[in-house]
């Protein structure tokens, strides 16, 4: 199929492009390269460097004529969304609407990368029917786009699929911009810097490897609906520190900081819905952490 990946030069998007190409699809990438990296885009894909807010976006869609649109582009910085919610909304809502308008013109299937942030302070055993109550502008914009997708599905009969990711990690995640805790911890360990932990480090998250996320996204080609993507395993920050010590053969320095008021102390997804399609996470946290650490180590030495 002719597939366009919006944000295809980024962390998850570039891995998705590689997978789609391996499956024999014709893939184009739309990315403004503000966060994505040109070198992450396979030479077998066509890269269009353009912002989704650019008036010329329609011309790019006319040239591609996609049958499927993966929409992964977003302002992903949670803290920036809090300090600058207008910018967050411009990119994540208005930009997404421009993408959806073009998809409607092409009558293309839309597969959207949403987030656990739509659930707000909900913590454990969260399934797709759990209440959505986002507490950050980032989460609000993700949920807003989900509602717009429902509108475009009803108004234009577009097949739509929504994937709500837990805590993504893996190679190509930028510790300087996306601030995923595993990428940050690996970076600090490699730089011999203290690992900053808010509170006691016993807070848990559901860490899902980028390869498993990509495998889930592929199911969007033939399935519609809303799906959680996670491992159903709670992993604490202290667990990450212990595993990182084994991988790096060096005891991490820890800089404990005051706990963040209101921080969710436990988190994990229920994923029976996507597992019913045949998807299963393949990467353990220890193996995925080693892959991430090794990749970042190689990047720093080249």
Active site residues: 138
Give residue 242's region: left, alpha or beta (phi > 0; psi -120 to 50): alpha
Q: Which residues contact 53 (CB under 8 A, 6 or more apart)?
A: 90, 91, 94, 95, 98
Q: Which residues contact 194 (CB under 8 A, 6 or more apart)?
A: 188, 252, 253, 254, 255
Q: Any bridge partners for residue 113, and if so which?
A: 163
User: Burial code of 230-252, b = ≥16 C-beta within 10 A, e = fewer?
Assistant: bbbbbbbbebbbebbeebeeeeb
CA angle 216-137-15, nearest 5°? 25
| Residue corresponding to tokens 């006691």 | 200
User: Burial code of 129-147, b = ≥16 C-beta within 10 A, e = fewer?
Assistant: eeebebebbbbbbbbbbbe
CA distance 177 to 172: 11
Distance set, CA 155 to CA 126, 151, 258 (Å): 30, 6, 49
């Amino acid at each position: 199929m002719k597939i366009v990946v919006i944000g295809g030069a980024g962390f998850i998007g570039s891995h998705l492009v590689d997978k789609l190409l391996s499956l024999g699809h014709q893939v184009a990438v739309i990315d403004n390269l503000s966060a994505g990296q040109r070198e992450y885009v396979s030479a077998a894909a066509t890269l269009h460097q353009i912002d989704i807010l650019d008036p010329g976006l329609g011309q790019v869609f006319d040239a591609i004529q996609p049958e499927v649109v993966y929409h992964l582009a977003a302002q992903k910085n949670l803290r920036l969304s809090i300090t600058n919610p207008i910018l967050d909304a411009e990119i994540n809502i208005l930009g997404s609407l421009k993408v959806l308008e073009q998809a409607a013109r092409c009558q293309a299937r839309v597969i959207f990368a949403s987030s656990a942030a739509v659930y707000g302070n909900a913590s454990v055993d969260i399934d797709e029917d759990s209440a959505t109550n986002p507490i950050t502008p980032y989460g609000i914009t993700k949920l807003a786009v989900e509602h717009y997708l429902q509108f475009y599905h009803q108004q234009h009969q577009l097949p739509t699929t929504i994937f709500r990711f837990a805590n993504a990690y893996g190679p190509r995640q930028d510790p300087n911009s996306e601030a995923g805790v595993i990428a940050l911890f690996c970076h600090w360990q490699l730089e011999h810097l203290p690992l900053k932990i808010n509170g006691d480090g016993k807070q848990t998250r559901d860490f899902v490897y980028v390869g498993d996320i990509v495998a889930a996204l592929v199911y969007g080609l033939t399935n519609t609906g809303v799906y959680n993507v996670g491992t159903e395993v709670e992993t604490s920050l202290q667990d990450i520190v212990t595993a990182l010590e084994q991988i790096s053969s060096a005891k991490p320095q820890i800089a404990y900081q005051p706990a963040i008021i209101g921080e969710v102390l436990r988190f994990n997804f229920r994923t029976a819905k996507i597992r019913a399609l045949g998807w299963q996470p393949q990467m353990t946290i220890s193996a995925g952490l080693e892959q991430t650490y090794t990749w970042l180590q190689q990047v720093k030495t080249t």
